[in-house]
Chains A and B, each alone.
Chain A
Amino acid sequence: MLGGALSLLGAGQTLHPRLGSGIESTRVQWQAVEGFTRDRLEVLAEDFATEVLVPSVETDARRLIAEAKRAGRKLVLLAETIDAIATPFGRALGFEHVVANQLVFADERATGDLVAPIVGPELAPRRLAALADELGVSLSACAAYGASGADRLLLGAVGSPCGLHADPELARLCRDLEWPKVGAARSGVAAVLAQLQEGT
C-alpha cells in the first residue's frame, strides 16, 4: 500500500454492494421505513450489519484491513446507507471513522427522510476533505477505492485513487486517467483488496 501515515479510505460499495447504490435510490429506499421506531430500526440494522453483511466479508479482507491498521493508517468507511447499518459494520471491521446517511426522526419514529445533504457522490469528497483536515492528513497522501462511475469525484480528490471491480464508466475513467484498476468482476472482497495491494 502507500506507506507512511497515509489513510486507507474505503467507499462502502467497495466492501459490500449493499452499502450504497446511488443517491436517488438511496433517498427512495429509505422512505419505506417511515413510521418505524428508532429502536426497531437501529436494532434490525445492527442485526443486518453484523449477521448478514459482516460474515460475507471474507477473511482476507479482514486481514488487509488489520494490516493497514497495524501500519498506522486510519480507516474511513464512506457509505450511502444509513449510519445504523454502516456504524456497526465499520466497527466490526475496525474502521475508525464512518461517514453515512442519517434518518430523520420525529418523536422517535423515522419520517422516511434522510438528513440533508444526502451523503452521495458529491458530498462524500467534501466530508472526506473535512475529516482529513480534522485529522491533519493531506488528501494528496490518501488512497481511495471506488467501485462505480459515481465515485469519480471521491477518487479524484485523493492522491492515490483506485478502481475496484469498476463498472464500465469507472473502468473507462481509470483507463483515461491512468488510475490503477483491479478486479474484473465482483468475486469477493478479499480478492479485490489483495489485488489492490499488489497494484499499488
Chain B
Amino acid sequence: MSSAQTTVHGALAGKNVLITGVTGFLGKVFLAFVLEEGLLEGGRITLLVRGKKGRSAQARLSALFARSPVFRRLRSKHGAELGPWLAERIDVIDGEAREPGLGIDPAQRATLEARTDVVIHVAGLTDFNPDPTDAITVNIHGALAAATLAQRTRGRRLMHISTCFVAGGIDGPAVEQVALDEHGGARSPNGTRFDPEDELLAIESVCRAQSQRHTDIVDARKARIEAGSLRARALGWPNLYTYSKALAEILIASRQRRERHPCHVMMFRPAIIECARTFPLPGWNEGVNTAAPLVWLTGTLHRHMPFIYTHNFDVVPVDDVVRGMVVSLAALVRDDAPLLDVVQVATGDHNPLTYGRALDLTALTRRRQYAKSADPLERVVLQHLDSVIGGVAANKDPLLPAIKTGVRTARNMLIAFDPEMHLPKSMRERFGAKLATFAKKAGKELGQASRTVGQVTEMLLAYQPFTFDHNPIFTTERVRGMSAALGDEDRARFGVQTHTIDWRDYWMNVEIPGLDRWSLPILRGERVLDDDPVPLTCALPVVEASEVATHDVAYAGDAE
C-alpha cells in the first residue's frame, strides 16, 4: 500500500484507541488494514483480548500475528522485525466482553482512561439464535461496559459496531437513526413503545425464571432461547441477535442522554459482512457467516428455496466495511463530531444484490465446477440441477417435513431388516447376508440424509425473516457522503466503493471461491489451516498498571 500521508492519516495520527473483538472476522481485518495503511501512527493501539484455553491474551495475539493469513502481508513486509514493529504500536490488555467492566484490571483501567481517545467496540455474538443469557451478557452488557469506559476516557469517543439488522422485521427504507424518542422511550420495529431499561430487566428476569424452572442444562438453554425468541418476535425483531444488538444501541443512546458530559457515540452498522474483494486477500473469510450456509445448501440435493427472488441479500465485502470504519473513525475524532451518529454500510439502496440473483449465480458457479468434477454425482446430476425459488415460506412448506418423515421411515425399515424374519428360507440362503449388509449401509446413509434434511430445515427457518418475510432497504447516505467528501487519494484508499461492485464477478470469482476455501470446510467439520507460523521475535507489551485504580461504574452513573 502507498505510504503517502492523507487527510485521513492526519485526522487519526497520534490517537490512542482501544479495540475489542480483534480475534474475530471483522476486528482482525480492521486491525490489519489500520496497520498496513499506517493509520494511527504516533498513537497506541490497545487490543482487549481474553486469554483462552490456558493461553494468555498476549500469547493468543502473538499467535494471530504469527499465523493468520490476514497478517500475511505484514509478516512478508517486516520479516523478523515484525515483533518489534508491532511492539512500537500495539499493546495488549487482558479482558473479556462477558465480564463486568470488560474484565479489565482496575489499575490498568486507570491507565487506559487517562490516555485513550476512542474505544472501538467490535466484540459481540453474531449467532442468529444464541442463548439469550449470552446475548444479553456479551451484546448488551459488554456494549454498555464499552460505553462506560469510553465515557471515562480522555477522548470520550465510542465507535460501537452494531448491525443494519437492528431495523428488525420491516419492509422498505431502514434509516440511520436509533429508535429512541426525545423522552428516552424506545420504539420497536413493529411500533411497540417500550422502556429500554425495563425491557432489559424483563428479559433478564425471563431468562432467570427459565433457568430455575429446568434442572437439566440443555432443557434450560432451550427454554431460554424459546422464551427470548418469543419476546424478540413480539417486538418485531426476527431473532435474538438483532434484538440484543438493537437493545444495546437503544440503551447506550438512552443512557448517553442522562450523562452530564456525554461522550460521542457512533453506531456503526454493517449489513452482511462477506468475503474480501482485495484486502487482506481476495476471497478472505473467516468462520461461518451468513452466506456460507446458503451456498452450502445449493450444493445439496435440496433445490426448493423458500425465497422471494427480489428481496435484498445485503452483502458487503469485509474490506468495504473496514474502509467505512476508517472513514467513520476519522469523522468521529473531529471536534465537531455529532454526539450521536449512525452510519450504515450496505448495498441494497444503491447497488442491490437480490437473493434470487445470488442463488442463480451460485448455481452457475457450481455448474462450472461440477462440469469438471471427477465425482459422477456432481458431473452427471448436480451440474444439471437448478434451484427453484418457491412461493411458500419455509415454516409453511410441507415438502421438507414430508421428506424427513419419508427418509426416517425408510431408514428405520432398513435398520430393522432381518433376513431371518423378512426373507423366505430359499432367498435367505442365497441373498440374506448380502442384503443385510446393504440394508445396514443404506440405513446409515439415510440416517445422515435425515440429519442433513434437519439441518436444511433449521437453516431455512432461521433465514426466513430475511429471505421471505421482510425486505428492509438500509439507507447509506452517511458513509457514502463521507466517502464522496474525501480528496481523490483518500477516497481511493479509504472511501467505501460498494457502488463499483460487479455482483456477477464478485459472486462467481470472489465470494464462492472464498467460501469454498475458508468457510465451507468448517461446515463439513474440517479444519481450515492457518499459515505456517512465523513467531514474533519479541513479546507484545501489556498495558501498564496505574498507581491509581479506577473501577467500572454503571454507564450514566454520574447522572443517577
B124-153 interface (Cβ within 8 A of A): none
Judge whether A39 and B368 touch: CB under 8 Å: no
User: What is the bound-complex CA distance between A44 and B361, given in angstroms?
Assistant: 11
Closest chain-A Cβ to B303's Cβ sits at a distance in Å of: 16
Q: Is A37 an interface residue (CB 8 A)?
A: yes
Q: Counting CB contacts under 8 A, is B478 at the interface?
A: no
The interface bits of chain A over 36-60 (1 if a CB of B lies within 8 angstroms of the residue's CB, else 0) are 0101101110010000000000000
A47/B504 in contact, CB under 8 A: no
Which residues from chain A contact B357 at a C-beta distance below 8 Å? 37, 39, 108
In the complex, chain B residues whose CB is within 8 Å of the CB of A39: 357, 360-361, 364, 504
List chain B residues, Cβ under 8 A from A40: 360, 364
Chain B residues positioned under 8 Å from A44 (CB to CB): 364
Residues of A with C-beta under 8 A to B508: 43
- Cβ of B504: which chain A residues have Cβ within 8 Å of it? 39, 42-43
Interface residues of A (CB under 8 A from B): 37, 39-40, 42-44, 47, 108
Residues of B within 8 A of A (CB): 357, 360-361, 364, 368, 504, 508
Q: Report the separation of the CA atoms of residues A44 and B363 in the bound assembly, to the nearest whole angstrom.
A: 11
Nearest chain B CB to A153 CB, angstrom units: 37
Q: Which chain A residues lie closer than 8 Å to B364 at the CB level? A: 39-40, 43-44
8 contacts between A and B (CB under 8 A): A37-B357, A37-B360, A39-B361, A40-B360, A40-B364, A43-B504, A43-B508, A47-B368
A121 to B361, CA, bound (A): 36
Q: Which residue of A lies closest to B310 (CB)?
A: A107
CB distance from B249 to the nearest CB of A (A): 35
CB distance from A45 to the nearest CB of B (A): 11
When chains A and B are docked, how far (Å) is the Cα of A44 from the Cα of B360? 12
Task: Determine chain B's interface SS by DSSP, over half rule.
Answer: helix
Given the complex, which residues of B lie within 8 Å of A43, measured CB to CB? 364, 368, 504, 508
In Å, the complex CA distance between A42 and B508 comes to: 13
Q: In the complex, how many angstroms separate the beta carbon of B362 from the nearest chain A beta carbon? A: 11
Chain B, Cβ-Cβ closest to A36: B360
Q: Which 8 A/B pairs are nearest by Cβ-Cβ distance?
A: A43-B364, A39-B504, A37-B360, A39-B360, A39-B361, A40-B360, A40-B364, A39-B364
- With a CB–CB cut-off of 8 A, which chain A residues contact B360? 37, 39-40
List 15 additional A-B contacts (Cβ < 8 Å) besides A39-B361, A40-B360: A37-B357, A37-B360, A39-B357, A39-B360, A39-B364, A39-B504, A40-B364, A42-B504, A43-B364, A43-B368, A43-B504, A43-B508, A44-B364, A47-B368, A108-B357
Give A111 to B357 CA distance when docked, in angstroms: 17
Complexed CA–CA distance, A37 and B504 (Å): 12
Given the complex of chains A and B, what is the CA–CA distance between A13 and B142 in angstroms? 69
Measured CB to CB, the closest approach of chain A to B310, in angstroms, equals 9
- Nearest CB of A to B329, in Å: 36
A57 to B60, CA, bound (A): 57
What chain A residues lie within 8 Å of B361 (beta carbons)?
39
Of A39, A44, A108, chain B has the most CB atoms within 10 Å of the CB of A39
Give Cα distance in the complex from A43 to B360, angstroms: 11
CB distance from A17 to the nearest CB of B (A): 24
Taken together as a complex, chains A and B put the C-alpha atoms of A42 and B503 apart, in Å, by: 14
Q: Whole-angstrom distance between the alpha carbons of A199 and B361 in the complex?
A: 48
Question: How many angstroms between the C-alpha atoms of A43 and B357 in the bound complex?
Answer: 13
Distance between A40 CB and nearest chain B CB, rounded to angstroms: 6
Question: Could you tell me the distance between the alpha carbons of A47 and B367 in the complex, rounded to whole angstroms?
Answer: 10
Task: Output the least CB separation between B386 and chain A (Å).
Answer: 9
- Compute how far the CA of A108 lies from the CA of B361 in the bound complex, rounded to whole angstroms: 13
Distance A27 CA – B364 CA, assembled complex (angstroms): 26
Q: How far is the CB of B22 from chain A (nearest CB, A)?
A: 37
- Report how far A44 CA is from B508 CA in the complex, Å: 13
A54, chain B: closest CB distance, angstroms: 16
Which single residue of chain B is at the shortest CB-CB distance from A37? Answer: B360
Inter-chain CA distance A43–B365, complex, in Å, is: 9
> B356's closest neighbor in chain A, by CB?
A37
A47 to B360 Cα, complex, angstroms: 15
Given the complex, which residues of B lie within 8 Å of A47, measured CB to CB? 368
Residue of A nearest to B354 (CB): A108
Give bound CA distance, A44 to B504, whole Å: 13
Cα–Cα distance between A82 and B361 once the two chains are bound (Å):
21
Docked complex Cα distance between A39 and B360 (Å): 8
Least distance between A46 CB and chain B CB atoms (Å): 10
Closest chain B CB from A146 CB (angstroms): 34
B367 vs chain A, min Cβ distance (A): 8
Nearest to B364 among chain A residues (CB) is: A43
Give the residues in chain B near A108, CB-CB below 8 Å. Answer: 357
Nearest chain A CB to B365's CB is how many angstroms away?
A: 9
CA distance A43 to B361 in the complex (A): 9
CA distance A108 to B364 in the complex (A): 16
Measured between beta carbons, the chain B residues less than 8 angstroms from A37 are 357, 360
CB-nearest residue of chain B relative to A51?
B371
Chain A nearest CB from B312 CB (Å) reads: 15
B389 shortest CB reach to chain A, Å: 11
A37 to B368, CA, bound (A): 17
In the bound assembly, the distance between CA atoms of A20 and B361 in angstroms comes to: 28
What residue of chain B has the Cβ atom nearest to residue A44's Cβ? Answer: B364
**Docked pose: A108 CA to B504 CA in angstroms:** 13
- Quote the shortest CB–CB distance from A90 to chain B (angstroms): 20
